[in-house]
Amino acid sequence: MGSDLSRGKTLDDAPGIVGVTKDELGPLPDDLLERPEAAKANPARWFERPSHPLEIEVGPGKGGFLVEAARARPGHNFLAIEQDPDVYFYTADRVRRHREAGVMSNVRVLRGDAVAYFKWRLEDSCVYAVHLYYSDPWPKRKHHKNRVLQGGFLADCWRVLRDGGELRLATDHDELWAFYEQQFRTWCHGVPVGFQAAPFTLADLPRMPAAPEDGLIVSNFENKFKERGAIPRGAILRKNGAAR
C-alpha cells in the first residue's frame, strides 16, 4: 500500500468518524510531571455507547482481529492504537467501510504510541481487556528495550484494567515468547516492587472461533508466519485487584 500521507492526507485527518482526532484527545498540560493525573481520562467518551465495556488492541496490523472481535461483541467498544501512519489509515479505512455497511459502530482508531498513551492518558480501572498480538519482537539484544511488554507497561495495564480484566497476548516468535515467560515469572508468579501480591494470574489463551484450526486469532501475521512453520502461543494475564 502506498503512503496515504503522500496522497495529501495529514495525521490530523480522521477517516469518517473512525479516527480519534487531536481535539478529542486533547493536549497534554505543561505541568504534566507535577500533575500526572491531569491528562488521564476514560476514552469511553469517544463512543456512541460509552457505558459499554472497553477493549483496547495495541498494534492492530491490518485489523483482522479487530474486525472479527468487534463484530462478535457488538456490546463492547474497541479502541485500536497504531503508531505507523500507513497502517493507521489502512485500519481506520477498513473499519469505515464496515461502518458504512451498517456494522461496527463500536470501533475507533487512535494514531499514536500505545505505551505512552497507557502511561499518561488512561485513567484507572476503565478497561475490560487489552490485546497485544504479534507485537514486533525486536530480535537484536540492543533493541530489546523497545519491546512493548516491559515492566512499566505491565504496571500501567494493571492500573487501567478493571478488577478481573485481562491482558491477552499472542506471538509465534520463540525468543519473544521466552521474554514473555520471564515477565510471567515476575508478574504472575512473583511480587514486583510496589505490589503486595502477584498482580496477575496466568491462563492459556483460547482459540478464537473464527481462527483457523491450527491458529489462535484472526491475524495476517499469524497466517503469514504459520506457513513457514511458526507455532503461535498465547496467554491471558488476569488482573488481581488485591495485589496493591
User: 35 with 116: CB under 8 angstroms?
Assistant: no
d(CA 228, CA 192): 37
User: 209 with 216: CB under 8 angstroms?
Assistant: no
User: H or E element: which one contains 3?
Assistant: none
Annotated catalytic residue within 12, 84, 124, 136? 136
d(CA 215, CA 207): 7
Read off the amino acid at residue 227: E
- The C-alpha cell 488512561 sits at 122
- The C-alpha cell 460509552 sits at 50
User: 81 with 148: CB under 8 angstroms?
Assistant: no
User: 176 with 141: CB under 8 angstroms?
Assistant: no
Strands 233-239 and 200-204: antiparallel
Of the candidates 229, 210, 140, the one whose C-alpha atom is nearest the C-alpha of residue 179 is 140
Q: Where are the alpha helices (DSSP H) in 28-83?
A: 64-72
In angstroms, the Cα distances linking 110 to 22, 114, 171, 184 are: 10, 9, 23, 28
Of the candidates 187, 184, 170, the one whose C-alpha atom is nearest the C-alpha of residue 226 is 170
Annotated active-site residue 156? The verdict is no
Among all residues, which ones are annotated catalytic?
136
